[in-house]
Structures are given as structure tokens and as C-alpha cells.
Amino acid sequence: QKEVEQNSGPLSVPEGAIASLNCTYSDRVSQSFFWYRQYSGKSPELIMSIYSNGDKEDGRFTAQLNKASQYVSLLIRDSQPSDSATYLCASDANSNSGYALNFGKGTSLLVTP
């Protein structure tokens, strides 16, 4: 069973702090990794994608990938209350179709003013 694992949280951080969200995956052949943000009652929104080992930065967000450790993380700098949401980690599923995604259960983030 190919799985993506995340701590469900909630992760609580004060406003202005760095939020660190972590994810591990079991399928060694996965090549593509994604972070989605999902507000309560809304659909997932893609915020970061990463395909190579190392860091990828986009504004306040930094995704980190370590394929040897099968580990993906998302850092949110200068966290804002509006960042409070569930963050879903996903990897390519390597299914027959080749292009679907495996999702983790998500980590709930709460940024307190």
C-alpha cells in the first residue's frame, strides 16, 4: 500500500512565527510532490510543487524534498491567521494512469494572533 503520512495536528503557532509541516511517503519511485491548502468547507488549493531534492521557495512558502529519506516539508514564514487551514501533502501515485495523486490525511494548522 503506497502511503503518504502526515501528523494530523493541530499544529498551533503564534502569528509571525515559522510553521513547519512534515510529510513522509512510502513509494520510493514517486517523483512529484505537492502541498495543497484546504480551508474548512472548501476544496484543496495547490500552493507548492517540488520535483528535485533540496529547497524551493515561493514567497513565504518553502518546500523541502529529501528523496533519500522519503521526506517532504513545507515551511511557512511570518505565519498569518489567514494561513490557518489544513495542509495536504501529495505525491504522484505511479498508478496505471501514471498521473493521479496519493494524498495524506492533512495537517491542521492554527495561527494564533
> Which residues make up the interface to another protein (CB under 8 A)?
4, 31-32, 34, 36, 42-46, 49, 51, 88, 90, 92-93, 95-106
Q: Least distance in Å: CB of 33 to another protein?
A: 10
Q: Compute the half-sphere exposure of residue 4: CA atoms within 13 Å on the CB side of its CA.
A: 23
Of 23 and 79, nearer to another protein (C-beta) is 23
Of 18 and 100, nearer to another protein (C-beta) is 100
Of 86, 109, 90, the residue nearest 18 (C-alpha): 109
Q: Least distance in Å: CB of 100 to another protein?
A: 5
CA atoms of 77 and 30, how far apart (whole Å): 27
Q: Least distance in Å: CB of 92 to another protein?
A: 5
| DSSP code per residue over 69-98 | TTEEEEEESS--GGG-EEEEEEEE---SSS
